Chain A
Amino acid sequence: MTRIDRIAEPWGTRTPYGSGGEWPVRVDTHLAEGVTPEDVDRWVQTASLLHSNGDAMDIAVKDNKIVGVRGRASDRVNHGRLGPKDLYGWQANASPDRLTKPLIREGGKLVETDWDTAMKRVVDRSKALLAEQGPSAIGFYTTGQLFAEEYYTLGTVAHGGIGTNHVDGNTRLCTATAAEALKESFGCDGQPGSYTDVDHADVIALYGHNVAETQTVLWTRMLDRLAGPNPPKIICVDPRMTPVAKAATVHLAPRPGTNVALMNGILHEIIANGWVDQEYIQAHTVGYAELEKEVKNYPPALAAEICGVPAEQISEAASIIGHAERLLSTVLQGFYQSNQATAAAVQVNNVNIIRGMLGKPGCGILQMNGQPTAENTRECGADGDLAAFRNWSNDAHIKDLARVWNIDPMSIPHYSPPTHVMQMMRYAEDGSIRMLWVSGTNPAVSLPELARVRSILEQERLFLVVQDIFLSETAQLADVVLPAATWGEKTGTFTNVDRTVHLSEKAVDPPGEARPDLDIFIDYAHRMGLQDKDGQPLIKWHDPESAFEAWKECSRGRPCDYTGITYEKLRGGSGIQWPCNDENPDGTERIYAGGKFWAHPEYCETYGRDLITGAPVDPSEYKALNPEGKAIIKAAEYVPPHELPSRDFPLQLITGRTLYQFHTRTKTGRAPELQAAAPDVWVELSADDAGAYGIAEGDLAEVETPRGSVRAKVRISGIRTGVLFLPFHYGYWDTDGGHQPDGAGRAANELTITDWDAASKQPIFKTAAARITRVSGGDGPSPAPTTTASAPAGDFPEEARTKGIASALADEATGTAGGAR
């Protein structure tokens, strides 16, 4: 057992292993000051809720309070390890400013009330709107941080009970493109790869995926491979000098918004050099000829010119990928939140498809998620898609879902694609959505172009319900605020990036009158009198386990089949990967083995969309193209971003995360070790740009776009010249402004453009034209962490390096008994 500062050492101590070996166990623990493991009354099983990796852990409980966490050694995902956000973030649960009573707006102010009064307001307004306008007046906007049972209930209430098409999650901002890219290439959502592919891969290519900060434990696994015998080669595509870029064999730092050109350049080389598996292409795919034709137009020299990277680097990266024997490709926000998001992510799928590298150890694709339960938002129907990957344009699927819910198929809105959140905001703006119920997310900070978002949410004519654990910026604008329980205070399941399902058990009671989200949704359904066609209650479950059983039935026979999983089976050992059913009682490590896909026209989740226009593909067209349900190779031409640099705004702004904070910091900003590590907003620019604009490290600068401005202290980092970076975590709840700027802007989304990918509808946070000016000199380095992609480019005083406060010391235990596969 060793003590280690996990703020200064975010990935902890190396435990090297070789190709095909077992990743050694390392158990990470952090307990409150003065508490020893012997003091703990009980350990309660759960998994991480502050990122998408799904690291299994136990909550330490003493005197009915959460006093710490410990990684679960037996779990397949993390083999005992935890990331900094897990080690320290649990403290936010006990924050004194948790919401403990419902609030309603009276005379312009939010005042405390009881549940009956608050729910009556919500129900009365819902009923009045349904009578006056119908379901088109009501929208639901949820999150990627509730549990599967809760999403399934919400989806059933919204789609089957209220009958509205306006349902989405904030997964639209983080993982919509992952889902869409998988649907386009494989006809269905579902992660092809498994984390164990890291154990086998000889090349790992990370596209816009700063895994070191977004999924620290997955990066730890990669670091341990890199430290062991026969390490994999790393290809990194990122305009910032991330920890991944530093470890890469080839680092490509393209101009923001040019990912499709880059991918087409790489594919050009792979195809021109014949590094493809013709047999696999013939047997298991459709559309290859189109790809060949398209990428012919992108020789490396041309791609290099568009992307602003050396042509030799494109060729070198393509050669490494082309010679890989076991290729793992991963993708995240650098692609998903950028120009041509889906088209670019699909080209990554194409690389693995044409090389025949799917469904075998080390050969996988990880289209990543940003949030812990995003996969459940997608599969349970809370992102607007229909439950269990049913196809909204396949009448047989609608009929089948209506059978499960025992309602008339006409009651399920399926006349057009679901309304994504950016469109919902537009409908709220034009006054046709008149009630918006936001659960577990904070659009007043996280959506693009905040001045516009605030002006929409502030409207008198919009009835805004916010269900949250803190009085977020969005909650401050609400008409009704419902206090919710969170992780550790309620029970449910959730599923990570690689389809691993974990059980998260209740450890302590929620504070005050706060209630589990599941209870709130069920209460609403009953108060609304939502019924099936026999006059029985639509929601027939009453607690997490009965909700899970209902969800299992809904998933039966679908790709995300949960029927073989029970709460009992999830207790104790390791998480389980779906599909888990009679044929696969222990779950399924890799899908798509042997070139078998879920793309058959009668079975697939979608017929896809045009990658450029976003227009849905007609069912008959899909059937003609892909009658046997093979993998679909879709090509795309490069289309420039809608907002390009100009004389007034000569730079490009990208936004993103830091390792130490999550989303709008509702939890991480209330954990002292994490908040101290990244206390305030900063802006990154290159040394060249700093010289050109006469700006020094630590100076206060103003960043402007046509939509607004933000003031931040400058970090001169290894970012590409011509590009600015702002972290998006910093809003206004801990400032005098409350929900909006009081003076200078702080939230990155004051600056971002209202524009989204036509296929996935994911907003484009990473291609705004911007300028920067120096405001005043600083009194020291900027508050940006030095351990991560925001590390300084040049020399830096030792005392200014990111280190933990005294309570940041955590325990590491290596050499304990084996982890599960």
Chain B
Amino acid sequence: MKFGLVLEEMHRSENDLAHHLLTISERHKVDHEIYHLARDLARWSQQHVRDIAAIAGNYGQDLDPEPRGEAGLMETLREKGSEMVGRRPETGMLLLRDLRELYLKACGVSADWELLAQAAQGMKDKDLLALAEKCHPQTIRQMKWANGKLKESATQVLVS
């Protein structure tokens, strides 16, 4: 069954999304809403990683329940860097690039949850379907947040 691969990909993509959110948070520490919210929203993906790992055993997959690590030295350096370049206009372009990437990543994860939910229905696996019903709405909220921030920030960055 190819389903194991879906779980593995789901686990990888949620980990990746959490990591990207944390990276954005650190890189844009001077944009305080980005800094705080990206951290809050990373926690959702980290929980999804744990949830996926917990259910993966049922499908013969051994996935790490611990999300990829948080702030180390590099991250702290990024925060400091953010504070130093925060008064330069180029940071705006970088923010747009990061938000665009975040939006696309979240869209990808959302599509993965669609696949998983479809498979869960095909296999009549209620636990798996329940997991998708719990997690997918949060992914969509992450997506909408990225899209909203992109929309809100774009004009000032591009037309000033």
**Chain A residues in the interface with B (C-beta under 8 A):** 133-134, 136-137, 165, 415-417, 419, 422-423, 426-427, 429-432, 610, 612-616, 618, 639, 642, 754-756, 758
B32 CB–A CB distance under 8 Å: yes
- The answer to whether residues A613 and B156 also contact, given A430-B87, A430-B92, A432-B89 and a CB cut-off of 8 A, is no
- The answer to whether residues A758 and B33 also contact, given A429-B86, A432-B89, A616-B148 and a CB cut-off of 8 A, is yes
The contact string, 1 if C-beta is below 8 Å from chain A, for chain B 82-115, is: 0000111101100000000000000000000000
* Structural contact, B32 and A756, CB atoms closer than 8 A: yes
Q: How far is the CA of A125 from the CA of B62 in the complex (A)?
A: 64
Nearest CB to that of B157 among chain A residues? A432
Nearest CB to that of A136 among chain B residues? B160
Q: Which of B33, B147, B156 contacts A756 (CB 8 A)?
A: B33
B55 CB–A CB distance under 8 Å: no
* Structural contact, B32 and A754, CB atoms closer than 8 A: yes
Q: A614 contacts which chain B residues (CB < 8 A)?
A: 33, 37, 145, 148
Secondary structure at chain A's binding surface: helix, strand, loop or mixed? loop
B68 CB–A CB distance under 8 Å: no
Q: Which of A165, A416, A422 contacts B32 (CB 8 A)?
A: A422
* Structural contact, A755 and B32, CB atoms closer than 8 A: yes
B141 CB–A CB distance under 8 Å: yes
Question: Which of under 10, 10 to 19, 20 to 34, or 35 or more describes the interface residues of B?
Answer: 20 to 34
- The answer to whether residues A615 and B159 also contact, given A426-B30, A639-B40, A758-B37 and a CB cut-off of 8 A, is no
- The answer to whether residues A165 and B155 also contact, given A136-B160, A430-B92 and a CB cut-off of 8 A, is yes
Q: Which of B151, B157, B160 contacts A134 (CB 8 A)?
A: B160
* Structural contact, A610 and B86, CB atoms closer than 8 A: no
Q: Could you say which of A136, A419, A430, A612 has the most chain B C-beta atoms within 10 Å of its C-beta?
A: A430
Nearest CB to that of A643 among chain B residues? B36
* Structural contact, B148 and A612, CB atoms closer than 8 A: no
Shortest CB distance B149–A (Å): 8
Nearest CB to that of A427 among chain B residues? B156
* Structural contact, A430 and B89, CB atoms closer than 8 A: yes
* Structural contact, A612 and B141, CB atoms closer than 8 A: yes
Q: Which of B92, B148, B154, B156 contacts A615 (CB 8 A)?
A: B148
Q: A422 contacts which chain B residues (CB < 8 A)?
A: 32-33
Within 134-160 of B, Cβ neighbours of A (below 8 Å) are at: 141-142, 144-145, 147-149, 151-152, 154-157, 159-160
Q: Which of A426, A612, A618 contacts B40 (CB 8 A)?
A: A612
* Structural contact, B160 and A432, CB atoms closer than 8 A: yes
Q: Which of B36, B149, B159 contacts A136 (CB 8 A)?
A: B159
Lowest 9 A-B CB distances belong to which pairs?
A615-B148, A613-B145, A136-B160, A615-B144, A432-B160, A615-B145, A416-B152, A754-B32, A642-B36
Shortest CB distance B159–A (Å): 6
Q: B145 contacts which chain A residues (CB < 8 A)?
A: 610, 613-615
Q: Could you say which of B41, B92, B152 has the most chain A C-beta atoms within 10 Å of its C-beta?
A: B152
Secondary structure at chain B's binding surface: helix, strand, loop or mixed? helix
Q: A616 contacts which chain B residues (CB < 8 A)?
A: 148
B31 CB–A CB distance under 8 Å: yes
**Chain B residues in the interface with A (C-beta under 8 A):** 30-33, 36-37, 39-41, 86-89, 91-92, 141-142, 144-145, 147-149, 151-152, 154-157, 159-160
Q: A427 contacts which chain B residues (CB < 8 A)?
A: 156
Nearest CB to that of A166 among chain B residues? B156
* Structural contact, A432 and B147, CB atoms closer than 8 A: no
Shortest CB distance A128–B (Å): 14
Q: How far is the CA of A464 from the CA of B92 in the complex (A)?
A: 23
Q: A134 contacts which chain B residues (CB < 8 A)?
A: 159-160
Q: A165 contacts which chain B residues (CB < 8 A)?
A: 155
* Structural contact, B37 and A136, CB atoms closer than 8 A: no
* Structural contact, A416 and B151, CB atoms closer than 8 A: yes
Q: How far is the CA of A614 from the CA of B147 in the complex (A)?
A: 11
Instruction: Supply 5 A–B pairs (Cβ within 8 Å), ascending by A.
Output: A165-B155, A427-B156, A430-B91, A432-B156, A618-B144
Q: How far is the CA of A165 from the CA of B153 in the complex (A)?
A: 12
Nearest CB to that of A758 among chain B residues? B37
Shortest CB distance B98–A (Å): 15
Q: How far is the CA of A616 from the CA of B141 in the complex (A)?
A: 10
Q: A754 contacts which chain B residues (CB < 8 A)?
A: 32
* Structural contact, A615 and B32, CB atoms closer than 8 A: no
Q: How far is the CA of A616 from the CA of B30 in the complex (A)?
A: 22
Shortest CB distance B71–A (Å): 14
* Structural contact, A613 and B37, CB atoms closer than 8 A: yes
Shortest CB distance A132–B (Å): 10
Q: How far is the CA of A426 from the CA of B30 in the complex (A)?
A: 8
Shortest CB distance B70–A (Å): 15
Q: How far is the CA of A108 from the CA of B122 in the complex (A)?
A: 74
* Structural contact, B32 and A426, CB atoms closer than 8 A: yes
Q: How far is the CA of A334 from the CA of B21 in the complex (A)?
A: 30
Shortest CB distance B39–A (Å): 8
Q: B160 contacts which chain A residues (CB < 8 A)?
A: 133-134, 136-137, 432
Nearest CB to that of B144 among chain A residues? A615
Q: Could you say which of A136, A422, A613, A756 has the most chain B C-beta atoms within 10 Å of its C-beta?
A: A613
Shortest CB distance B95–A (Å): 10
Q: A755 contacts which chain B residues (CB < 8 A)?
A: 32, 36
Q: How far is the CA of A657 from the CA of B106 in the complex (A)?
A: 43
Nearest CB to that of B40 among chain A residues? A639
* Structural contact, A429 and B30, CB atoms closer than 8 A: yes
Q: How far is the CA of A642 from the CA of B159 in the complex (A)?
A: 32
- The answer to whether residues A430 and B41 also contact, given A756-B32, A756-B33 and a CB cut-off of 8 A, is no
Q: B33 contacts which chain A residues (CB < 8 A)?
A: 422-423, 614, 756, 758
* Structural contact, B141 and A613, CB atoms closer than 8 A: yes
* Structural contact, A615 and B147, CB atoms closer than 8 A: yes
Shortest CB distance B147–A (Å): 7
Shortest CB distance B10–A (Å): 22
Q: B159 contacts which chain A residues (CB < 8 A)?
A: 134, 136
